[in-house]
Amino acid sequence: MILLDRVTKKYGKKGLALDRVSLHIAPKEFVLIVGSSGAGKSTLLKLLTREEKPTSGKIVVGGVDYDRLKDREVPLLRRKIGTIFQDFKLLPNRTVFENIAFALEIVGMTNKEIQFTVPKVIDLVGLNGKEHNFPKELSGGEQQRVAIARAVVRQPKILIADEPTGNLDPKHAWDVVSVLEKINQHGTTVLMTTHNQEIVNKLQRRVITIDGGKVSQDVAGRKS
C-alpha cells in the first residue's frame, strides 16, 4: 500500500529533513508516527500527498510510482488519500452537511449521489442530529469529526491524520481516535501523527518513531 525506499529530503541550507527512510505499510494498517517537533513527521506526510518531492529515493503509494506521476495526475492521487489536520479547516458559513458535501461537489458528484452518501458518513462519525449546525455551534471534537467525515466521504484508501487530537481535551481526543479506529475497521489504511503518549500506549498499534529525519524505531502493535 505504502512503500518508501531510501527516501531523502533536503531543504537547501536547512539540511536533511529525511535521511534515507525506508518503510512499508500494508493495506488496512493503523500506524502511529511519533517524534519530536522538527523530526521529519510532517515532511513524510507531505511527500505522501505529493505536496513535496523527495530529493532521492522511491515512493510508491497504492501501486502509483511517484517517479512516474505527472503533475496533472496529482489531484486524482489526492482523491485516494484523505487528510485531516490539527486545525479543522471547516467552512464557517456552511452547515455540517454542506461542509461534507463540498468534498463531493468539487469532484462533480450529482446532487442525488450527495444526498445518498453524506448521511451515511455523518452516521459513521456519530454526528446524527447535527447536520444543520454550523461549525461555531459545535465542540472542538465535533468539528474534528466533521473534518474526518469530509476526508473520508470520497472513500479514500488511505487516511492521513496529522496531530488530529492536538487541540482537543482528553475526552474529545478519544472520541476522534474512536472514529479513526472505526474507519480503519472499514478497511481504510490510517496513518496518524501524535505527541500524545497516552494515545500511543492505549491504542497498542504499530508505532514508527522518527528522530532527526531517520526511523529510529518501528514497533509492531499488539492490535492488528
Nearest one of 134, 108, 104 to 121, comparing CA atoms? 104
Q: What is the mean pLDDT of residues 95-114?
A: 94
The fraction of the chain above a pLDDT of 90, given in percent, is: 79
What pLDDT does 51 receive? 92
What pLDDT does 166 receive? 86
pLDDT exceeds cutoff 70 at 191: yes
Q: Please state whether the predicted TM-score (pTM) of the whole model is above 0.85.
A: yes
Mean per-residue pLDDT of the chain: 93
pLDDT in tens, 122-168: 999 999 999 999 999 999 999 999 999 999 999 899 999 999 998 88
What pLDDT does 8 receive? 96
b/e burial code for range 144-179 (CB count within 10 A of at least 16 → b)? bbbbbbbbbbbebbbbbbbbbbebbeeebbbbbbeb
What pLDDT does 15 receive? 84
Q: What is the β-pairing status of strands 158-162 and 189-193?
A: parallel
Judged by DSSP in three states, 13 sits in helix
CA–CA distances in Å: residue 74 to residues 19, 50, 54, 61, 155: 24, 7, 15, 12, 17
Give the whole-angstrom CA distance, residue 210 versus residue 36: 8
What pLDDT does 134 receive? 97
Give the whole-angstrom CA distance, residue 222 versus residue 224: 7
Q: Residue 78 — very low, low, confident or very high, per pLDDT cuts 50/70/90?
A: confident
The answer to whether residues 118 and 100 touch, using CB atoms and an 8 Å cutoff, is: yes
Q: What is the mean pLDDT of residues 178-199?
A: 93
pLDDT in tens, 28-72: 999 999 998 888 998 999 999 999 999 999 999 988 999 999 999
What pLDDT does 45 receive? 93
What pLDDT does 13 receive? 76
User: Grid coordinates representing 79?
Assistant: 482523491
**Domains in the chain with CATH codes:** 1-80+156-224 (3.40.50.300), 91-155 (no CATH)
What pLDDT does 224 receive? 58
Kindly give, in sequence order, each residue whose CB lies less than 8 Å from that of residue 13, ignoring residues fewer than 6 positions away: none
